[in-house]
Amino acid sequence: MTTLTQLPDDYVQNPHEVHDMLRAEGPVQEVRMPRGLKVWLVTRYDEAKIALTDPRVSKNVVEGGRLMQVHSTDPAAGRVLDDSLAEHMLNMDPPHHTRLRKLVTKAFTARRVEKMRPRVEEISAELIARLNDGDVVDLLEVFAFPLPITVICELLGIPIDNRDEFREWSNQLLTFGTTEEVQAAGAAMAGFLYQHVTKVQAAEPDDTFFSALVHATDSGDSLSTEELVSMAFLLLVAGHETTVNLIGNAVFALLNNPEQLQILKDKPELIPASTEEFLRLEGPINVATFRYTKEPLELGDVTVPADEILMVSLVAANRDPERYENPDQLDVTRSAQGHVAFGHGIHFCLGAPLARLEFDVALTQLLARFPNLTLAAEPETLAWRDSTLIRGLHTLPVRLA
Ligand code: HEM
């Protein structure tokens, strides 16, 4: 017998305290999320890996989406996005997932990602060149946001003038907006991407990533227009909402831990390896995307019944004291390998190499140009975004020096 725990209204402001309490009680609990959805929330590391990989757990939103209404007190629950945005691999199980992932992997090769390094360096350098010593800026606004959105728009061949619109739409789709706002943003995004996809389909194939994706084939199979629209949507949202906050959360953690900042300033060659520790400590995804049990599932000594929504807090798993010593401590020299900030199993983040590359470039250039940057606000006054999916600050005011 388990009891239903109501997550506090201010859960997103301080999830770690809540996770510590839940984790100490057991690997998974039935909880009511801040907006009324009842889910089983996994907070321990070992069970998180099981929940992310066990075939009794499904990500099929078409079949499992009905559970959103069954398990919610919120009449707006279960509102699904415009169908044309939902037909992507993060919402699917094998064999459909396998097919889509294979086709996109063909276009998104490690070689193509590594070839982007000089361009990522250039974009980052251009953004930094606009900043001056002594300026007080929102680092998310002037640097952490424009870098990944510029990279992902270039990857998809989307004109950069649409950047601000994308930010607005994507923000509305991922945070708790009204149903009307979410639907309007979804429809606007779908309409734009549809036009873009059909334009690239009609053009001669070239060497760019999106053209390769549009024209990718596997034994005569290729992506339909609808699948391409959904895929572009997934790449666009997954490709920037996360990386922005990896940069933001890492800089915030460093400014709160000056001795750790000093280590990276003294030895910038440690930055690439330290990426894993920043992902572990405060990864940009708190609760991973929708999953449900198709059959009963044992997690430790708890059995989650069939037809339950199963959510995994990646942030909680990555601070499990059974897995990482002093888990709340930033330690840029620790080996944080094995964290689940990019997920685990068949849905493991497809963009991980690009995210790591962008982070490495961003932090290296930022610390080289502004080694004495400081927070320009009391840390306790900074608010986290109103989302259980995205873990990121609203603003990150810093003084550049
Ligand atoms: C720091 C940056 C990033 C983090 C922390 C991150 C995290 C994740 C996580 C946790 C998942 C799995 C979600 C789940 O199983 O519920 C995922 C999937 C995915 N990510 Fe990322 N991501 C990042 C950057 C990117 C980038 C830059 C791209 C694309 C360019 C991208 C594309 C994807 C795609 C396509 C999937 C779905 C894979 C599948 O279903 O097989 N991500 N990401």
> Domain tally for the chain?
1
Q: Is 235 in the pocket of ligand 1 (CB under 6 A)?
A: yes
What distance in angstroms lies between residue 338's CA and the mean position of ligand 1's atoms? 16
- Report angle CA 373, 374, 375 to the nearest 5 degrees: 140
**Nearby residues of 77 by Cβ (< 8 Å), 6 or more positions away:** 35, 36, 37, 68, 69, 71
Q: Is 53 in the pocket of ligand 1 (CB under 6 A)?
A: no
Per-residue pLDDT of the chain (401 residues; tens, 9 = 90+): 468 999 999 999 999 999 999 999 999 999 999 888 999 999 999 999 999 999 999 999 888 888 988 898 876 665 555 667 888 999 999 999 999 999 999 888 888 888 999 999 999 999 999 999 999 999 999 999 999 999 999 999 988 787 778 878 887 877 666 778 888 888 888 999 999 999 999 999 988 889 989 988 888 888 999 999 999 999 988 988 899 999 999 999 999 999 999 999 999 999 999 999 999 999 999 999 999 999 999 999 999 999 999 999 999 999 999 999 999 999 999 999 999 999 999 999 999 999 999 999 999 999 999 999 999 999 999 999 999 999 999 999 999 99
Instruction: Give me the CATH number covering residue 337.
Output: 1.10.630.10
Q: What's the domain range around 23? A: 5-399
Long-range contacts of 196-201, Cβ-Cβ distance < 8 Å, separation of 24 or more? 196/156, 196/157, 196/158, 196/232, 197/225, 197/228, 197/229, 197/232, 198/225, 200/157, 201/225, 201/228
Q: Is 238 in the pocket of ligand 1 (CB under 6 A)?
A: yes
Ligand 1 atom, smallest distance to 152 CA: 30
